Amino acid sequence: MAVPKKKTSKQKRDQRRATWKRTAALQAKKAMSLGKSVLTGRSTSFVYPTDDEDDDEE
């Protein structure tokens, strides 16, 4: 016969949520930093196509 599991404590629940939110905030910060560096043209770690090649073909 199945036995119900014990309830998770509020402390453990809050700890898991804090960990999830911390990792999400860190990823958002990295994405913003990369976006800013791409817009300013100082990005060295991100390769993306430029529109200069299209102008030469015309």
Phi, psi of 18 (to 5 degrees): -65, -40
Helix, strand, coil % over all residues of the chain, rounded to 5? 65, 0, 35
| Predicted pLDDT of residue 53 | 57
pLDDT digits (tens, 9 = 90+) for 18-48: 999 999 999 999 999 888 888 887 777 777 6
pLDDT digits (tens, 9 = 90+) for 6-21: 999 999 999 999 999 9
| Predicted pLDDT of residue 13 | 94
| Predicted pLDDT of residue 39 | 85
Measured distance CA(40)–CA(36) in Å, rounded: 6
Please, are residues 32 and 43 in contact by the beta-carbon 8 Å criterion? Answer: no
pTM of the model: 0.57
Q: Is the torsion defined by CA of 31, 37, 41, 43 positive or negative?
A: negative
